[in-house]
Amino acid sequence: MFMLKVGVLASGSGTNLQAIIDACNEGKINAEVAAVISDNRNAFALERAREHGIESFFSDASDKRRHEEEIDRIFGERDVGLIVGAGYMRILSPQFVKKWYGRIINIHPALLPSFKGTDGQGDALKYGVKITGCTTHFIDEETDHGPIILQAAVRVKDGDDRDSLAARILKVEHQILPRSIDLFEQGRLEIHGRKVRILPGDSWMEYALPDVLYSEGF
């Protein structure tokens, strides 16, 4: 049976990578992580990959062109069908994105288009919003901009600091990122300009956390 091969880009601890690995191992996704690449040689994501017998690579991003050539080669050699940015803190070039467009997704810890950039959680807290959350989206040539796949909302509580809010958002990220991969693997995502249509099929609604506003399709 065909199984989607996923290539993961990660810069940090790799908790979203772990959520993907767990979903694959539990049979929630008909996929396997074929390789993990990090721009940070000390990223724990690389150790997570090794612990699960997944090929892992450090790629120096100081030379952006070479870095992207390495990503393209490593994933290409392993027949990767979907690239996932899971806490990857680099901006990919328009040339790279064009080659992989429609086969490369990202997760962002805010409800896009609000609070783009590297600190979506902190920016939401500083702005004083009452609801924030996370977004999965196809990557395009602009930062945190591509067509949105899934979003889930998380309440901002009185007394929240950045860490407490980020921790609650992260729990929800661990749900919608594997679900987005699952929808891609099923061929249920259709890009129509700015919108992603989710074709009919099974739902993961029962997996949503109690405090999450979450829906699929349009």
Residue 29 Ramachandran class (φ > 0 left, ψ -120 to 50 alpha, else beta): beta
The structure tokens listed for 60 are: 């120096």
Closest CA to 130 of 113, 108, 114: 114
Q: Are 131 and 102 in contact (CB under 8 A)?
A: no
Q: Is 108 designated active site?
A: yes
Alpha carbons 64 and 43: distance in angstroms, whole number? 18
Catalytic one among 67, 108, 137, 174? 108
For residue 105, list its beta bridge partners. 84, 138
Residue of 38, 6, 11, 10 whose CA lies nearest to 21: 6
Among all residues, which ones are annotated catalytic?
108
